[in-house]
A and B are shown apart, each in its own frame.
Chain A
C-alpha cells in the first residue's frame, strides 16, 4: 500500500546525511512523522502513557547518539523502531509487564459476527443474510473529523498487538517485511494481527455509518 505518512520523507541516504550534518528540520520531520506510531508501540510494552513517552524520548536520544554509527544494514525507520522495541522491552521487564509477542490467543474466532451469515438450516449456509450496506463517501469537514475521531478511538480499543501492527502498517505506512523485522514476528502472525485489526476498525465504521444513516 502506498505510504501516506512517509510520502514526504526523502531516501534514507539523504536522511542520514542530513542528520549527520545537524539538519534540525530533518530531525523534526522524523520526530513528527514517527512519534505517534512509536508511542503506540511503546505503550503496548509498558504500563502507562507517561512511561511510553519516556521510552520514545529515550529512543530519540539513542538515535541522536547513534546516527554517526548507523551502518545502513536496515532502513532508518526499521533501525529507529528496533531501538524503540528494545528500549520498551527493557522498561517492560522493569515494570514486570512482559508481553508475549508470539502469543496466539488473539487469533481465535471469526472476525465478522457469525449471525451476519446464513445458518445451517438456511438456503445458503455461510452466505450473507443481508449484504453489508454501502458506505457514504465522507463529505465535508465535520464528517471527516468525526470519522477521524472514531477511528482513533477504535484503534485505542484494539488489543495492543493488533493496534501496533495496524498502526505500523496502515497509519505509518510500514511494509509487512519491516513490521516483521521490527516486532520479530512471523509473516503469518503479522497478517493475522493486521486482519483482525482491520476487521475490527471496519466494524466500528459500519456501526457508525448505520447509525448516521438512520438519524439522517
Chain B
C-alpha cells in the first residue's frame, strides 16, 4: 500500500482541513501524521496561521496602526462618514 512522504503530506494539509480527502487518502494522511513529528507540527502551524489570520479579522479595520496601508485598514474615515450619510439620506427619502 502506498505511503506518503512528508513532501506529499504538506501539499495535502489544506484538503485535509477542508475535509476534501477521500477516505483512503485521509487514512494514509492520518497514519503518516501519527508517526511524523515534523508533519504533525506543520499541520499545527498551518492551523495556527489560519487562527492568527482570523484574529486579524477580529481586531477590526483600523487596528494595527498602519495608516499607510489602506487595503489592510478598511475604508478611510471620510469615506465611512459619507456612506453613513448616504444611508441616512436614502432611508429618509
Q: Are B66 and A1 neighbours in the complex by a CB distance under 8 Å?
A: no
**Looking across the interface, which residue of chain A has its beta carbon closest to that of B50?**
A170
For B18-38 the 0/1 string (1 means CB < 8 A from A) is 101000000000000000111
Contacts of A127 in B (CB 8 A): 5-7, 36, 38
Contacts of B75 in A (CB 8 A): 31, 35, 39, 53, 56-57
Interface size class of B (residues with CB under 8 A): 35 or more
CB within 8 Å of A: which B4-56 residues: 5-8, 10-11, 13-15, 18, 20, 36-39, 41-42, 45-46, 48-50, 52-56
Contacts of A151 in B (CB 8 A): 52-53, 56
B76 within 8 A of A: yes
Q: Are B71 and A156 neighbours in the complex by a CB distance under 8 Å?
A: yes
Q: Are B83 and A31 neighbours in the complex by a CB distance under 8 Å?
A: yes
Contacts of A147 in B (CB 8 A): 52
- Cα distance A198–B74 in the bound complex, in angstroms: 22
Q: Are A132 and B7 neighbours in the complex by a CB distance under 8 Å?
A: no
Q: Are A43 and B71 neighbours in the complex by a CB distance under 8 Å?
A: yes
A141 within 8 A of B: no
- Cα distance A214–B81 in the bound complex, in angstroms: 46
- Cα distance A24–B60 in the bound complex, in angstroms: 18
Q: Are B70 and A49 neighbours in the complex by a CB distance under 8 Å?
A: yes
- Starting from the known contacts A126-B5, A148-B63, A205-B45, 15 additional A-B residue pairs (CB-CB under 8 Å) come to A22-B87, A35-B61, A43-B71, A52-B70, A57-B75, A57-B79, A60-B83, A112-B42, A131-B37, A135-B45, A151-B53, A155-B53, A171-B57, A202-B45, A206-B45
Q: Which residues of B contact A (CB under 8 A)?
A: 5-8, 10-11, 13-15, 18, 20, 36-39, 41-42, 45-46, 48-50, 52-61, 63-64, 66, 69-76, 79-80, 82-84, 86-88, 90-92
Q: Which residues of A contact B (CB under 8 A)?
A: 1-5, 7, 22, 24, 27-28, 31-33, 35-37, 39-40, 43, 49, 52-53, 56-57, 60-61, 64-65, 110-112, 114, 117, 124-128, 131-132, 134-135, 145, 147-149, 151-152, 155-156, 166, 170-173, 176, 187, 191, 194-195, 198-199, 201-202, 205-206
List the 8 shortest-distance A-B pairs measured between CB atoms, nearest first. Answer: A126-B5, A131-B38, A22-B91, A5-B57, A195-B14, A170-B53, A128-B38, A4-B58
